[in-house]
Chains A and B, each alone.
Chain A
Amino acid sequence: MTIMEPRKHGDASDGMVGGRQTRFEGNLKVTGGATYALEYPIEGVAHAVLLQSTIPAGRVTSVDTSKAKAAPGVLLILTPDDDLGLMTASDWYGNRPENQPYHPLPREVSFNGQSIVAVIAESREQALEAAKLICVTYAQTPAVASIDDPKAGEGKVMGNLTIGWGDAEAALAAAPIRIEGEYSTPREYHVAMEPHGLTVKWDGDQLTVWEPSQWSHGMARSYSEWFGIPYENVRLISPFIGGGFGSKGAALAYSAVAAFAAKKLGRPVKLAVTRPQNFTSYGGRAATRQKIKLGATEDGVLQAIVHRGASETSTYMDYPEQTGAATPILYKVENFSSQHRVVPVNTVTPGALRGPGKNPSAFGIESAMEELAYKLGMDPLELRLKNYADHDYQSGKPWSTRRLREALTEGAAAFGWSKRSHEPRSMRDGNQLVGWGIGCGTFPVIQAPSEAMIRILGNGRVEVVSGAIDMGQGTYTILAQTVAEVFGIPVDQVEVHLGDSRLPGSAIAGGSMLAGSILGAVHKAATAARDELIGLALSDEKSPLRDTGANTLTFSGGRIAVPRDQGPSLSLPELMAALGRDEIETRRNTLPDGATPQEHHQAWTTMAKVQGPTMGEFSMHSWCAHFAEVRVDEDFGTVRVSRIVSAFDCGRLYNPRLVESQWRGGIIMGIGQALLEEGLVDQRNGRTVNNNMGDYLVPTNADVSDIQVISVGIPDYGASALGGKGVGEVGIVGVAPAIANAVFHATGKRVRDLPITLEKLI
């Protein structure tokens, strides 16, 4: 494969890879022309609403639907009494239990807010009204409300998350300087602006699903397995998705219910999950607890890290929020020990939320490092640089690229860190205490096989086609830029088709793995299409370029020509016309040559072929350093983040304008995590109390001031074909500890449990 050297670009209209092209689908989004899942006009659609459990654990003994059935417009009511005839689908890795029935409206209740009844009516208003008339009777059993419930216990150790090297306990005991802290994070939620939901339609045994998706192929697989129909019979359509952040990667229980209802009724069904129901229809980030002990020499050289973490999970699945994920790789340490437990409680199984694992993990280790710095009387920046990891001590492998040192030093310079006064409460502006803090972040480079199709059309337009998803990261734009560069044409000569399980398979839009994975396939397919065109242009007797004697052609400025020659040049449509071709189509993937159809299916619909960060000869990660300034009102304890400077090493940036937006978005979500966001659980009944956007607080415009983002990365061709590392996840990682550290610097109060609310400071 030809790799194009990255070039410097500055022009905002620059469509080449690395240019600051504006968002490809921008006009659609600002005019209301982008169509999201629930907005397709479907003839004859019926409306489904869900009824959720009001107990945390027990059994549904009866559902009285008599009044609801008699209500106007009601078409169907589904309860635990109905056997939907579905079979359990595979997990993300493609493992599937044999002959296991699936009950998306279960009789056994595992958490408060579990969907147990669905009402389908002619209109949504009628369905909602009828749902209020349903009376559910339960036999309640004892429950564990949350990780704070005394009945929760210690949980179970996850063996695969127990890691260590050296002798951490002995080295800690021998270290002259020791600190110890216990850090906790609450339940946090995605709160994507577009609520979950779907519209489903059957045509015979063909199923069409309009559903917001981070992974069209993987979700289509679930439907085919639930209903026992061939994978090819399912089409999941999701060209626009109103935010995901990890929540829209799987088809969920309500999805199965809607699809069943549509089948039973013989008409399309739309199911809109209400905002409150979104809080329990899928899991947010699990609540976490960590104990960290650090040992160091008197001049600040780390001797040992001992880490013990735990996270909530559900009673029916072990899902770890890996509190030890960032702990082993941020610093050089010869003696390390980490263990993680999951604590089952009566909640929906938690899930991946931006920066899964790394994010709460960084809150622990990055808070602890600053605690060590203050114990030593050392500048926290100096402590971090002093313990800089020259390689990955966990895997023993060299870094592919690691510009964390540059992130720290260049971020510090831009922030003005040298003007800091070390003592807590030593910087003040009127009645505001000013504090500065640092938090480092990391996220692994993950890759998955992907496929793409390129079509050169007779009119000179070039289409790039992929089942990949754009949920706002910029997939449309960077695919268009890649194709524009290969063919030397403007971006507006490119068409991009995404978000459909019938299109070529792709990595999930998650784990920051999509851009690196899909661009490899797109670049390969586009280059192959260009090579095919060159071959035709030099050999076809109808081609004006045939007799030039050239052995290749250049594509630049919309013209195709012989290199270093004043001879003929043609535009793409002119060449296609000369060749008498309506279309040239190529399809390429990044699987090994000779992969079987089964391997293709597995690659696009499961996570089985995903490559982790240390599966090759290097250890590959994105890195960042956040510098936060807070202002704390001395009387009221209110905290404002007054500015943030963040420096990132994410390798080569395919489009800095869009990357900067993603980084800022991650940082802003981190501000929410530090100061606002906290899922509150009623300890009596396991209910999520603040299950709405007025009570579960996410940052507003007024909560966010100046944020400066800096790129210090260099292309990393080990990490991806075009040199980029992941961008989307890493932005949030390290923000919360940077703010917590700044709050300590401002006030002298160390808050170890997020969020940092004013009652913890007064």
Chain B
Amino acid sequence: MTRTIHLSLDINGGRYDLDVEPRVTLLDALREHLALTGTKKGCDQGQCGACTCHVDGKRVLSCLTLAAQVEGRQVTTIEGIAAENGELHPVQAAFVEHDAFQCGYCTPGQIMSAVACIREGHAGSDEEIREYMSGNLCRCGAYNNIVAAVREAAEMA
């Protein structure tokens, strides 16, 4: 397969044009073609959550989404949630304050999931947060602190 398709993607409010093979995933488009490497590849098979992005405000696994599927939709990645002046999103700030990560590799996916989890109204209790954040694995084991961070950010929201 050598045919390429032209895509024009709306990512973090900006327009990105690229020519890729139709089988290129959104994750690989971000990381390999657009230098947006904040979104992480942990398994490439939809099991770990490290690649979580938002498409039209809803969380998706970008490793199981083709880049071609998101044309005409709004994609948000970890690079796009802080304020324009660089001020951290409340979830990002809460992750730093609560030490909700160690190696940092699952962190962008955790934060994108957390932002959506709060927006979905699924951050009402620690138990609910645990359940709705369970699609994002953290092998360093920062789960207690992730729950604390999401809870604090939800209370501020």
The chain A residues found within 8 Å of chain B, CB to CB, are: 12, 22-23, 25-36, 38-39, 41, 72-73, 123-126, 129, 190-195, 240-245, 272, 274-275, 471-474, 657-658, 660-662, 664-669, 692-694, 698-702, 704-707
Contacts and interface: CB of A to CB of B under 8 A. Distances in A.
Contact of A123 (B21, B111, B135, B144): B21
A73 B48 contact: no
Contacts of B145: 661, 664
A195 B42 contact: yes
Given A472-B103, A474-B102, A693-B48, 16 more contacts: A29-B101, A30-B93, A31-B88, A32-B78, A32-B108, A242-B40, A245-B139, A275-B47, A471-B103, A472-B104, A661-B140, A665-B102, A665-B141, A666-B141, A701-B143, A702-B130
B118 interface: no
A719 to B, nearest CB: 23
Contacts of A665: 102, 140-142
Interface of B: 1-2, 21, 23-24, 28, 31-32, 35-45, 47-48, 50, 77-79, 82, 88, 92-93, 95-97, 99, 101-108, 111, 129-131, 133-147
For chain A, what secondary structure do more than half of its interface residues adopt (helix, strand, loop), or is it mixed? loop
A195 B41 contact: yes
Contact of B45 (A23, A275, A471): A275
Contacts of B79: 31-32
Contact of B23 (A33, A73, A125, A191): A125
B105 A242 contact: yes
Contacts of B142: 661, 664-665
Contacts of A245: 139
B121 to A, nearest CB: 18
Contact of B105 (A30, A194, A707): A194
A240 B104 contact: yes
Contacts of B140: 193, 243, 472, 661, 665
B47 to A, nearest CB: 4
A702 B99 contact: no
A193 B88 contact: no
For chain B, what secondary structure do more than half of its interface residues adopt (helix, strand, loop), or is it mixed? loop
A230 B103 CA distance: 32
Contacts, number: 184
A193 B138 contact: yes
Nearest to B24: A125
B48 A193 contact: yes
Contact of B141 (A12, A27, A473, A699): A699
B40 A701 contact: no
Contacts of A241: 103
Contact of A698 (B32, B129, B139): B139
B37 A192 contact: no
A450 to B, nearest CB: 21
A661 B99 contact: yes
B102 A661 contact: yes
Nearest to A709: B144
Given A72-B1, A73-B2, A129-B1, A667 B38 contact: no
A72 B21 CA distance: 12
12 contacts: A23-B101, A25-B104, A30-B88, A73-B2, A193-B105, A275-B44, A472-B140, A664-B142, A664-B143, A665-B140, A701-B138, A707-B144
A698 B137 contact: yes
B146 to A, nearest CB: 7
B134 A700 contact: yes
Contacts of A34: 104
A643 B88 CA distance: 33
Contacts of B42: 193-195, 242, 275, 693
A640 to B, nearest CB: 12
A245 B139 CA distance: 9
A32 B142 CA distance: 18
A192 B97 contact: no
Contacts of A694: 45, 47
